[in-house]
Amino acid sequence: MFNKNEEVKKYWKKSNTYSTLGYISLLGEGVGAFWLASKLNTDNLNETIAPLYVTLGFATIALIFMHSANKNAKKAILNYNKQFDNRTSFKLVPTSNHNGVGLALKF
């Protein structure tokens, strides 16, 4: 449905790209956390600095990409929904039955 509108398609594609990069960064964060966990039992604390920075760096990058993906997905959805702003989703129709005459909302 998003392919019909070029602006929506652009935002949605950008969202998918950022989401993929975010998941790759999360994978890097997991690898860094595993590396950090393997170095925590060493006596030399200097060996834990590099894995700590790798883990925190990938976590920061993943956070930035995931935020951008969510922001672009939101823009795509809001842009898509903008086309329905001038339409009503219900009608007021007159009706009658054995109870009498009245108005009904038809969705």
Beta-bridge partners for 4: none
The reported pLDDT for the residue numbered 1 is: 73
Q: Can you tell me the distance from the alpha carbon of 23 to that of 15, in angstroms, rounded to the nearest whole number? A: 12
Q: What are phi and psi of 82, to 5 degrees?
A: -60, -30
pLDDT per position as a tens digit, 12-39: 999 999 999 999 999 999 999 999 999 8
With a threshold of 0.85, does the pTM exceed it? Answer: no
Helix (H, G, I), strand (E, B) or coil at 94: strand
Average pLDDT, rounded, for the chain: 90
Letter string b/e over residues 24-57, b meaning 16 or more CB atoms within 10 A of that residue's CB: ebbebbeebbeebeebeeeeeeeebeebeebbee
The reported pLDDT for the residue numbered 43 is: 82
* Domains: count for the chain: 1
The reported pLDDT for the residue numbered 22 is: 97
pLDDT band at 73 (very low <50, low <70, confident <90, very high): very high
What average pLDDT does range 56-82 have in this prediction?
95
Q: In terms of residue numbers, what domain contains 28?
A: 3-106
CA dihedral 68, 72, 75, 76 (to 10 degrees): -160
Contact, 65 vs 25, CB < 8 A? yes
pLDDT band at 103 (very low <50, low <70, confident <90, very high): confident
Contact, 81 vs 89, CB < 8 A? no
What average pLDDT does range 70-85 have in this prediction?
90
